[in-house]
Chains A and B, each alone.
Chain A
Amino acid sequence: MTRPDSVFDSGAAQGYFLLLLACGAGLLFSIPAGAHVNDLMESSWKPSPLVFHLTYITLLGLLGTFRGIAGARWEGPVWGRLAHLALHVLFGQLIVLPYLFFSRALLPGRGPVLPLLAVYTTVAAFAFALIAFRLERWGQSRRVHTFMHQYALLALILVVPWALGMLSGVPDAVGLLSPIGAGLRIIEPGSAAELAVAFAFVLIVLLIQILAIRRSTRRNHGV
């Protein structure tokens, strides 16, 4: 057990630098390459302006997972550790905030949805942090190596519902279970009902994790 990381400690700082660079690369890719429409027509590669937003959602989820694994190894009361985890996720959000503001120029007329996206992504990243935290604690208690489990789960949650949602015959709401699908729907923007489903799902997941952590903490104290 170690004392909780500061956001400026080596391990954490590396994660933030990676987040900053990868999201920055996504941002550069999202900017149309060409001064005139002809340049856009000639260019065979036309990345969507949403490349940045997809990178941002994915990497913030990854950061949450990364910090959640670290948080399980911290010492101190559980709720203090969770507060630290929330702080780490918020710090990650803070450092990509300039990119998010800059990306307004890439989504004409859709600027007002970006605060909503920021809130959703922060909650989703925190939910990923708690899932990783719980899995890591579970591994520790059973002396099972769970390092890849958290990342595999992250990939599954990000990709599978989104891919399923794109299949014909599958209800669109399935895609909203993935932060990528939900994020795209927030940007589009989707209907109020769709947004409510997206937020409800991520909040339910978050609540389940908090309740499960509380229950396991009580059980451990009881023991």
Chain B
Amino acid sequence: MSTKGKKREEAKGLKRVALIGNPNVGKSVIFGLLTGKYTTVSNYPGTTVEVSYGNINLDGTRFVLVDTPGVNNLLPMSEDERVTRDILLAERPALVVQVGDAKNLKRTLVITIQLAEMGLPVVLDLNMEDEARDRGINIDKEALKRLLGVDIVGTVAPEKKGIKELKNAILEDSKVPGLKIDYGTVIEEYAEKTTALLPKAKISRRSLALMILAGDESLAGWLKSRLEGDKLESIESFREECALKIGRPIGLHINEIRLKKASEITESVVKKTGEKEHRVIQFISKISMHPVWGLPLLLLVLYGIYEFVGVFGAGTLVGLVEETLFGEYLNPMFTKVVDLLLPLPLLRDLIVGEYGLVTMALTYAIGIILPITTTFFIAFAILEDSGYLPRLAIMSNRVFNIMGLSGKAVLPMVLGLGCGTMAVMTTRILEGKRDRLIAIFLLALAIPCSAQLGVILGMLSSLSALAMAIWATCVMVVLLFSGWLAARILPGERGEFFLEIPPLRKPTLANIAVKTAGRVTWYLKEAVPLFILGTFVLFVLDKLALLKVIHKIASPVIVGLLALPEKATEAFIIGFLRRDYGAAGLFAMFEDGLLTPTQALVSLVTITLFIPCLASFFMIIKERGMKMALFMLAIITPVAIAFGSVLNWALRGLNIAI
């Protein structure tokens, strides 16, 4: 829900319940089950980078449920972790439903300890009980309940097990966990001194004092707006004194004490028995990370995607929908109906003409792109849910190092193959501004989104293997080279590679279906209006005879440098609105025999590199500011055209037949 929705809920004064927990423990699945609202669920840490809100109604009591990005520590170390801590700091939920991984109780309890310190009432949900049981981990929930003094529920979210109990627990009077930790005389003394100076806050001042002592710089802004300068100075000097006395990083020291406590509790309530082995899954898991066998597996996966999306989606399905359904039935039918009802030629052209809303906008959006994106979303969902993507990061860390990034960047990059707009947001999981900037730049420049990729795969599959290889090489070269260059130009060090690897899981049909449906709906909502807008712009330009003028203006570039037909200009114009729309324009031209194979290849490489679509451009502005967004635009457009020209020149100069 948007911020507008958020404000509306606040006005109603509904109680807030926050879902908090480590990454990849299933918070979003629980959110979906409680609210009936779908948010993206995948099998890798960092799927949720933004907060979602949803309503729940339990026996007549209404709450607002808040889904948050996963945290390993409420002392934030990345932007997504900070989002979660700030929710607790700014909104103070009436209740926290802490979702924990039942097989990782120790890490769960480290968060519980911090929630207890903040003074927040907690219901503890131990999720993935089935996986814990398979691994021979049995938690004595009654004993744990006695130790913590809060309600504890065990769930297996995908099977909806324990959800009713969870709902009941939310309705009951929840308590703050009874976990008080003594951090030793030095830290306790300085925590007390700092607490005395802190302003009133929505969470306990002691917890804030501990965060400050631990050197949490993300609190600086919050403090500055609430405290006078001399108090800020005293707090800073307390922190320094304390650090001197402890003689090692305080944050680490505090964390170790918490871990020790969590470890003690875990040992007292967990009984280990023999584990069941899942040999096939373990075998695949091992292969997927193997220095040698990982590569053939990756190629196999890529080949599978190509067959499913490029051949089946862009070939078979597009043939059915575009050529048969639209070409033979819908478009002729619409044309007849419009001819009958609207005898005005201008209106007729608007709907079924060369730039008609039905014959062009809808045919492109639904006839060409919908089948391709749908197949891509299905393939992509399988990859996401299996847990393969983080394993890809292990394989590709070294390659990403060349681009000045760590292997972790493979997640936003691969997501960018789905949708660049979502991927720009996912760069938040990367450490440091520099890494995020490079990743966003590369996403905008060289990563085609699913729709565009599908169209490109579709066209390439009817060219030749050589064309495919040239296209892929071009994109890789641009990606590597511009990343390498950006890494050298931008100051600072890249973040070191550190990524949690989730277990491989068999994807469930239900989640894939729901996720794909969600994404397809989102695509239709976002893309179709823009397709209509783009078509309308072309229609108006055409009727005003401006299109010819633009063709002429762009001709030195399009015809001169890229050696493409003038009409290709239109693909690049609508490419400003959506890159996939531009690609679809080229697809249609190619189908009509207006592009030679060489021209097709040059135009595809150029449009792949071409500026990001409007939606992701807005997202870049949101994440990195207008100046940076315009700056990227100013680099990307000439680079795309220049590279296309060089390719054209090379293909023709070397006489390479595609």
Q: Do A and B come from one complex?
A: no
